[in-house]
Chains A and B, each alone.
Chain A
């Protein structure tokens, strides 16, 4: 097939490049040096480009980090870089706003900001300040202090001009399957499950979706992969559907789409997603990627544990289900540091999240050194149901960052279960947290901090759950408890 990319409206044939070459490297080698490398780990946004992608309501422009996107992932796709925005001498509104508001100083981060603003220009859902701010939390600027950039963003966000970029949104998007082999490496993007099973031969396979983590293996650890299988085009992977008593969320659902969905359907999940990565990362990263990555500090795993979710695992033989939480008969989904129950030849196809009992109070908290785009020191998701008499009928307390895997605080839960929620019970439960977890020291926080925060989050949660403090979700919320009390 034709290995080309539609770059700024022009079909560009990609030459003989490695399947793990990053899009950024290719762009810069091709002369598109407006797109910058600031970190090559998706954490600064200087490399941001626009990718025309399938959204929940049809085609949509997404700002993505080109530094951790692999070239073949862009085959057959429409891309726009900072060089492709202006029309002759007329700047795109995103560019003009940056000029008008003095949003650039040294200018090196500017193309990335412009591309994040570009996405914002065509978004229709930027209805609050925090959402607008979230649009640029993945772009670092060392010069301006951000105030003028934020003003530029606010000027153009959701303005939805009619132009050649909005025209693209009205077209049918046909993302082609890919099978690309160069040297020792092969990249396959099947569009049918059958093709997926057929592609898997003797070579060790590495599944990839957004490549937001795999990209780091390439740029930071210089790894190569004999066989990369992209799950992004497979049927059902990007769908969210109601099922009996809950929802089935495809493993390929992008975090940005999950965030939009959760606003209507799951407050606790939505709260976590606000502080989850950056817009660019959420535009590529998937539910399945975050769960299968099996990091102890992933942010979705605690939510899955607290919401009692079930993994839907697919192989050539069919589907099986496995609860994320450990049960009497089975271990949890995460078996050890960075290990899951997935066997060779198995793919996480979806997660099923049961509806919450109407009396259940569920929420999430994330604590990190920096509020935005930072990895948790501690992340947590809690669900509590009290029965009529005020005793604990159901409790699930899940943490990330406290152990080698995301985990439930089972001893703590057992102290609370079937008890009246008195202050002394709560204090006993909090003490038991020390038996559940022995967190470690690292550059994100000391063991003391993690243990103290975990205890305090629990303390705050019970106050919230009992309505002692009214929880507000202000326009620029923090990841944790009532830090804004206007």
Chain B
């Protein structure tokens, strides 16, 4: 095999990254004469615009024009699912930072001055901030979505232990290093080229076409690469591309929009905070009998992707555990903050956290190790093999994975050593925690599970591939090059991956839901196979055997028949000479999935990805500070398409998940102002937060026959492994008390939150709070 499939190796753009020559949309100043576009943000979180005077902005040096909703030639309304979000405010504002107008200027500085000059007056309304206030105000975006099975009343009636309470998980800013950016270039005949840092080029194309009132065929969206996405550029790149396009249409000049960090953080949505009321029943052996959970997510001001995010949360309340009787009910709250959106895990982490909190508290109440409690409640053979929504958990890897992980991590011995340590230390305690992951793979809106590709072979044997996915660091392009090279039997260097563009591969789904390489890989492979099928007879003929063309294989840059071989370039040239097309599209759609939300039943997922993590922490009981001493991860990526890329996804996902639950603290003021709008106040993990000892292994012999190359999706599942850190923290916190109290640890587990929990263990006093 000449390709890099299943082999370790660097990211395809690594050389470009380290030399600064990788191009991002944010780096692109645009052609000569490009103007800068900046939205005029609402200074209040909720109210009616009573006065808007744009004229003063026009007087500012360098300001070209100012556009309001009245200047939009097409549709002001967009939305990734519901069509209900105004690009520019139409009389009302619903969150602080909402775009009211756009200022178009020669430079960013002039644009900023223009924005400052716009005069606005409002009739302010009282904003709804936070889930509790939304519930109190009966403010929702959706009706409840319910999944249920079994006899919950009987479960509670027969319970030996009932755990009930409320659990909250926090917001999280994506903090992609490249902020939102777009460039719109007017072309001939009223067409536009849009370059956008987006995970969803087709959506950009649609939103821009609708806003300009032109056909989609007049808009091409190109995506060179993203400086990080994580879900934050799935839907929310769209308005910034639309602003650039509206400005380009108005001025006839290229226009770019790009946000500073503070603007990006203040104006774009985050991971949905969730608040869940739960009640769970256990029998005397610690087996879960039933779970009742009402999940409320903070959708922000508009629906955006909140519906499917909530659905995925509901789908993952079971985590890796069989819950015989269950009712989960979810509802999206409407508040006056930026619309919360997709973020790695897409509700899965929030849903899983509910049952993990329940298990942690139950373990405290029973006085048992939470790891043992988790393992005893795993899905198992029938009848313990069916998810609450009716899908059978096929090819469950946890029975193979978890014992291996426990052994690799030396769990039992370390658990004992930690107990010993905690008995001898007063101010410092250690703890250990385990987290299994079972994550459903597929867009839960089943129709989105499709992808296209376009592959060209040139007569010299070199290849260009196009596919619908975007590269945002996850290594999708690296994998796609390997798939094409492997299928065509050429060297990696003979394959060039072209900029993602909607004129090459149309009608794409977002690169999201961890699905990028599953879907696009199958499409690329299908296109390559079409060409291979055309080339086989030619190659056979060239080797003097035209009856045995099915036996022709392609590898090492040659076509082979037995011992005979002929260069791929010769085959390609000959095909051309014989007037055979060397270009093909490819297409793939995931078969056999579907889900009916009205009955809460179906097969939403093509398969599941599995993993497990064991984390050990050490807490300073005087300050609540802590460090993660060691993490062992064993993760199931099937037969990895690019193992070193996948290890990077696992590690990066874990640390990002840790950030969500530990140091990242999104804070809004009561009037809806984001207080943590830069890295000076919003702390994502830094190098020193990475576990001192981080051991990541990929599960061996885990071929997944359902997916290209036997692989599995890897983008999101490792994120949730980080919940192990919370269980470890709780274990360590418990060390400060005498076992009388269930650990009360609020997320994110900042040092302050940990210290509150420690003080509670020491004193039994809860509510040691100032602000929250």
A: which residues have CB within 8 A of B? 28-29, 32-41, 43-44, 46, 81-83, 85-86, 91, 95-96, 98-100, 102-111, 114, 133, 136-137, 139-150, 220, 222, 365, 367-375, 377, 441, 443-449, 452-453, 456-457, 459-460, 469, 476, 478-485
Contacts and interface: CB of A to CB of B under 8 A. Distances in A.
Nearest to B663: A370
A482 B681 CA distance: 26
B688 A148 contact: no
Contacts of A449: 624, 752, 755-756, 770
A114 B17 CA distance: 9
Interface in B625-671: 625-627, 644-645, 648, 651-656, 663, 665, 667
Nearest to B178: A108
Nearest to B657: A145
Of A104, A114, A143, A441, which is in contact with the most chain B CB atoms at under 10 Å from its CB?
A143
A443 B676 contact: yes
Contact of B755 (A102, A443, A452, A481): A452
B689 to A, nearest CB: 7
Interface in B1-45: 10-11, 13-24, 26-27, 29
Nearest to B22: A107
B770 A448 contact: yes
B407 interface: no
Contacts of B262: 220
A166 B112 CA distance: 43
A328 to B, nearest CB: 34
Given A457-B622, A460-B427, A446 B752 contact: yes
A35 B20 contact: yes
B473 A143 contact: yes
Contact of A142 (B644, B684, B694, B770): B684
Nearest to B686: A372
A139 B690 CA distance: 13
Contacts of B625: 367, 371, 478-480, 483
Of A83, A107, A469, which is in contact with the most chain B CB atoms at under 10 Å from its CB?
A107
B19 A83 contact: yes
Nearest to B229: A106
B19 A43 contact: no
B692 interface: yes
B22 to A, nearest CB: 5
Of A28, A36, A479, which is in contact with the most chain B CB atoms at under 10 Å from its CB?
A36
A470 to B, nearest CB: 12
Interface of B: 10-11, 13-24, 26-27, 29, 112, 174-178, 225-230, 260-262, 425, 427-428, 472-475, 618-620, 622-627, 644-645, 648, 651-656, 663, 665, 667, 675-676, 678-681, 683-690, 692, 694, 750-752, 755-756, 759, 768-772
Contact of A483 (B26, B228, B627): B627
B732 to A, nearest CB: 12
Contacts of A377: 751-752
20 contacts: A40-B261, A81-B20, A99-B10, A99-B14, A105-B11, A106-B228, A106-B229, A107-B14, A107-B22, A108-B178, A111-B20, A142-B177, A143-B473, A146-B655, A220-B262, A446-B769, A453-B623, A457-B623, A480-B622, A484-B627
A302 to B, nearest CB: 16
Contact of B679 (A39, A457, A479): A39
Given A481-B622, A483-B625, A372 B687 contact: yes
B197 to A, nearest CB: 10
A448 B689 contact: no
A86 B230 CA distance: 31
Contacts of B26: 36-37
- Residues of A contacting B: mostly: loop
A44 B179 CA distance: 13
A136 B690 CA distance: 12
A133 B686 CA distance: 10
B427 A481 contact: yes
Contacts of A483: 428, 618-620, 623, 625-627
Contacts of B651: 144-145, 147-148
Contact of B687 (A146, A453, A459, A482): A146
A352 to B, nearest CB: 32
Contacts of B260: 37, 40
Contacts of B225: 106-107
Contacts of B645: 102
Contact of A102 (B14, B627, B689): B14
A371 B684 CA distance: 11
* 3 nearest A-B residue pairs (beta carbon): A34-B20, A106-B473, A446-B770
A444 to B, nearest CB: 8
Contacts of B627: 371, 476, 478, 483-484
A99 B680 contact: no
B10 A102 contact: yes
A153 B645 CA distance: 19
B687 A133 contact: yes
A482 B428 contact: yes
Of A86, A104, A106, A140, which is in contact with the most chain B CB atoms at under 10 Å from its CB?
A106
Given A108-B227, A452-B755, A82 B770 contact: no
A177 to B, nearest CB: 29
A36 B227 contact: yes
B648 A44 contact: no
A373 B177 contact: no
B690 A143 contact: no
Given A108-B177, A143-B652, 15 more contacts: A34-B19, A35-B20, A43-B680, A44-B177, A106-B228, A133-B688, A147-B690, A220-B262, A371-B689, A372-B689, A446-B770, A447-B770, A459-B622, A481-B427, A482-B427
A96 B16 CA distance: 11
A446 B746 CA distance: 14
A372 B689 CA distance: 8
Contacts of A34: 19-21
B715 to A, nearest CB: 11
A369 B261 contact: no
A303 to B, nearest CB: 18
A42 to B, nearest CB: 8
A145 B618 contact: no
